[in-house]
Amino acid sequence: MKTCDFFFELPQDLIAQYPPNERGQSRLMALDRVTGNITHSTVTQLPDILCAHRFLGPHGEKPLLVFNDTKVRKARLTGMSAQTKAEAEFLLLEKTESGEWKTLVRRAKRRKTGQAFTFFDSQGGEAARARITGEQGDFRFLSFESEIDDKWLEKYGHIPLPPYIKRKDALQDELRYQTIYAKNTGSAAAPTAGLHFTDEILDNLAANGIGSAFVTLHVGLGTFLPVRSENIEDHKMHREMYSIDEKNAQKIEEAKEAGRKIVAVGTTSVRTLESAWIDGKLKRGQSDTSIFIRPGYSFKVTDALFTNFHTPHSTLLMLVCAFGGKELLLESYSQAVSKRYRFFSYGDAMLIY
C-alpha cells in the first residue's frame, strides 16, 4: 500500500492548539465497523455507551478497558551552542547504557559530533553542559557533564508538545498533557486517548461494572515518527519499551477467557496488547516492540478502540484503518471534518467497535 492512500484534507483551524476548558468535555464519535453506523455524543457518556448490548459478553459480562499508564517526561531542552551561540532544541528520548542521552534535535544536519551546548534555568542561570558524542541518522547522542535524571528534567525541562501545536508549552500543559493516572515516567509524548478521562468518568465506569486494567508503553519514535517511504511496507518502526505486571496480565487474560470485550484506550495500548499476546497469554515484565499494525493485520486481543483523531500519513492512522477498515475510517474522518471535530492530541475522541 502507498503512504499517499492514508491522506485526508484537514483545515488547519481544526487542529486543537489547547485542551478543552475542562478535561472530559470533548466530543465523541462512535463508529460501528460492521454496519458503518456513526453516532455523536460526548466522552462523559462513555460509561452508558459501554453498557449497551453490543459491548456485553456472552453472559452479559461488562467490557474491560485497558489504559496506558506511562508518564510524559519533561524531555524538551533548549541549549545554546558554545561555538555559534545559536539555540538548539533537543528532545531526550532515552538514556543509553553508557549514560548518554539519545536525542532528536531540530536542524539535525547542523548538529555535529563535538559541538558543545549550555542549558539554562528559567532565570537564565547555567543548569547543565553537554556535548554531542555521536550521530546515528537523525539522532544525536548527548553526554552531559552532570547527572541528568527525571528529577532534574522535572525542574529544568519542558513538556514536549507535538510540532502541530504552534505555541510554547504553558503551565497548564504540565497537567493537561498528562493522564490523571500517569504513573511510570518515560514517554516523549502523551498517550493522548487517555487525556479525556477524569476521576468522575473512571468512577462511573467502575460503578457500571466496567473493569479497568493498566499496561505501560513509553511513547517514542515508534508512535510519532512520520512515514516518509512511498510504500508503507518500507517504513521502519522504532522500538518502544513496554511492560505488563502480573496483576494486570491476569485481569486481561481472565476477561478474554470469559468473553468480555477488551476496549483498548489508545493506539499504544493496542500495540502493547497485540505485541505481548503469545499463544493465548500475555508476556509479563518488560519488553520492547516495533510492531507496525496496518491494514491486513488480524487483531488477537482488541475488541474495541477508544482513540483520538490522527494525522494524515501516520502509522497511527494506518492502525485505526486496520481496525475499522480503511474506506469506512476515512469516510468517518470526512464526517468529523464536516462536523468540525477537533483533531490530534488535544482534540476530540472516537470509539470504534
Q: Give yes or no: residues 123 and 230 share one domain.
A: no
The answer to whether residue 165 sits within a structural domain is no
Q: What is the pLDDT of residues 112-132, one digit of tens each?
A: 999 999 999 888 889 999 999
Question: Which of 112, 133, 158 is where one domain is finished?
Answer: 158
pLDDT confidence of residue 221:
84
Q: Across residues 179-203, what is the average pLDDT?
A: 97
The pLDDT of 19-45, averaged and rounded, is: 97
At residue 340, the pLDDT reads 98
Give the pLDDT band of residue 25 (cuts 50, 70, 90). Answer: very high
pLDDT-derived band at 64, boundaries 50, 70, 90: very high
- pLDDT value at 108 more than 90: no
Of the candidates 162, 156, 143, 145, which has an alpha carbon nearest to the alpha carbon of residue 95? 143
> Does residue 166 lie in a domain region?
no
Q: Are residues 197 and 311 both part of a single domain?
A: yes
Q: Could you tell me how many residues make up the chain?
A: 353
Q: Does 103 map to a domain? A: yes
Reported as a single tens digit per residue, the pLDDT across 239-285 is 999 999 999 999 999 999 999 999 999 999 999 999 999 999 999 99
Q: Does the CA dihedral 289-295-300-306 come out positive or negative?
A: positive
What average pLDDT does this structure show over 176-195?
Answer: 97
Does 185 have pLDDT greater than 90? yes
* Contacts with 138 (C-beta within 8 Å, 6 or more apart), sequence order: 104, 108
Does residue 338 form part of some domain? yes
- The torsion angles phi and psi of 267, rounded to 5 degrees, stand at -65, -30
Averaged pLDDT, 189-197: 98
Q: What is the pLDDT at residue 329?
A: 98
Q: Are residues 218 and 344 in the same domain?
A: yes
CATH number of domain containing 143: 2.40.10.240
| Domain tally, the chain | 2
pLDDT of residue 22: 96
Residues 264 and 304 placed together within one structural domain of the fold: yes
- Mean pLDDT on 72-81: 96
Angle at 71 between CA 65 and CA 73, to 5 degrees: 155
Task: For residue 171, give every residue at least 6 positions away whose Cβ sits within 8 Å of its Cβ, in sequence order, or none.
Answer: none
Amino acid at 54: R
Whether residue 224 is predicted with pLDDT greater than 90 in this model: the reply is no
pLDDT of residue 222: 79
pLDDT class of 106 with cuts at 50, 70, 90: confident
Kindly state whether residues 52 and 88 are assigned to the same domain: no
Same domain, 52 and 67: yes
Residue 109 has pLDDT above 90, yes or no: no
Q: How many CB atoms lie within 10 A of CB 195?
A: 25
pTM of the model: 0.95
Q: Does residue 163 fall inside a structural domain?
A: no
What's the pLDDT at 311?
97
Could you give the CA distance from residue 308 to residue 195 in angstroms, rounded to a whole number? 10
Tell me the residue range of the domain where 91 lies: 76-158
Q: Give the model confidence (pLDDT) of 280-337 as tens digits.
A: 999 999 999 999 999 999 999 999 999 999 999 999 999 999 999 999 999 999 999 9
Q: At residue 137, does pLDDT exceed 90?
A: no
The chain-wide mean pLDDT, for the chain, equals 96
